[in-house]
Amino acid sequence: MTEPPAAPHSDPTSLNGHPLVVAIDGPSGSGKSSVARAVARDLGVGFLDTGAMYRALTWWCLERGLDLADRRAVADAALVLPLQLATDPDAVTVQVDGTDVTAAIREPRISQVVSAVATNLDVREILVRRQRALVAETAGRTGGCVAEGRDITTVVAPDARVRVLLTASVEARLARRATELHGTADASALAATHDEVVRRDRDDSTVSRFLEAAEGVTTVDTSDLDFAGSVAAVLDVVHAGAGVAP
């Protein structure tokens, strides 16, 4: 584990001293990972990207030559996955069995097949347990935790003080992901990105609820917001929901 983040800009804990947990759900390309990191940085608390866990497991299974369609074998791998996640928003790294896979798990070869792992219900049950433990450990160590991914607001952290569904139009999400992956949002880049964004959301939505806000979850639509505006909008929800002044 890396060192915990610096002291918060404002006290993230509630009046009764409990750590602040912020849960952020949302579809692909909504900006939830980068926004969640920035929110955690502003609050001075830990950050957890739960999607990285599914990607890391996918990477490990491929490295070991496992068939991702063998649901039992992949679930068995999840049970023993030697995963280390750094939760400092300024130094987010992912290691598997001592190998830094932070960049490798974002490669197209992982993005194209990660849904096979993420839709494995046995895997989800195993990783959700690890995610809950990580949220609790991180929040206890740093005074709070901003966790993002699928099922965060409804399954992993349904009792989080603040729960947000970060969403955007399909057009906006495609443009963002295309720019992130290809450096441009021209027609060819959008076409190359379409499958990753639209298909993954379709596949993942069969086992996870992240396209519509559950009861008690605040929706933040970032379609017409830039990055700074998106972060500010989520922080507004956090400050209102946690009763903490900006």
What pLDDT is attached to residue 95? 98
Both structure tokens of 225 = 């917001």
Does the annotation place 8 within a ligand binding site?
no
> Residue 207 above 60 pLDDT?
no
Q: What amino acid occupies position 179?
A: T
More confident residue, 71 or 3: 71
pTM of the model: 0.82
Q: Which helix (H) or strand (E) holds 167?
A: strand 162-167
Q: What is the pLDDT of residues 172-199, one digit of tens each?
A: 777 777 666 666 666 666 666 666 666 6
Does the annotation place 144 within a ligand binding site?
no
Q: Find the DSSP H helices in the chain.
A: 32-43, 51-63, 71-80, 108-111, 114-118, 121-142, 170-182, 187-194, 200-204, 227-242
For residue 154, what are the CA distances in angstroms to 58, 138, 208? 24, 19, 9
Does the annotation place 32 within a ligand binding site?
yes
Does the annotation place 33 within a ligand binding site?
yes
Please give the Cα distance from 21 to 74 (Å, whole number). 30
Q: Which helix (H) or strand (E) holds 94?
A: strand 94-96
Q: What amino acid occupies position 223?
A: S
Average pLDDT (158-170) is 91
Q: Tell me which fold the domain 20-236 belongs to.
A: Rossmann fold (3.40.50)
Q: What is the pLDDT of residues 20-60, one digit of tens each?
A: 999 999 887 778 889 999 999 999 999 999 999 999 999 99
What pLDDT is attached to residue 242? 67
> What are the extents of the domains in the chain?
20-236
φ, ψ of residue 55 to 5 degrees: the values are -65, -40
Both structure tokens of 116 = 């096979």
Does the annotation place 115 within a ligand binding site?
no
Please give the Cα distance from 206 to 243 (Å, whole number). 35
Does the annotation place 26 within a ligand binding site?
yes
Does the annotation place 241 within a ligand binding site?
no
Average pLDDT score, the chain = 85
User: In 3-state terms, the chain is what percent helix, strand and coil (to 5)?
Assistant: 50, 15, 35
Q: Taking a C-beta distance cutoff of 8 angstroms, is the pair 125, 54 a contact?
A: no
For the chain, state the CA radius of gyration.
17
Does the annotation place 46 within a ligand binding site?
no
Please give the Cα distance from 73 to 68 (Å, whole number). 8
> Residue 131 above 90 pLDDT?
yes
At CA 193, angle to CA 191 and CA 198, rounded to 5?
100
Please give the Cα distance from 191 to 45 (Å, whole number). 37
**Least-confidence region, from 101-105, 169-173, 190-194, 204-208:** 204-208
Does the annotation place 108 within a ligand binding site?
no
Q: Which residue's entry shows tokens 């990105």? A: 193
> Residue 110 above 60 pLDDT?
yes
The total of other beta-carbon atoms located within 10 Å of residue 246's CB is 11
What pLDDT is attached to residue 31? 81
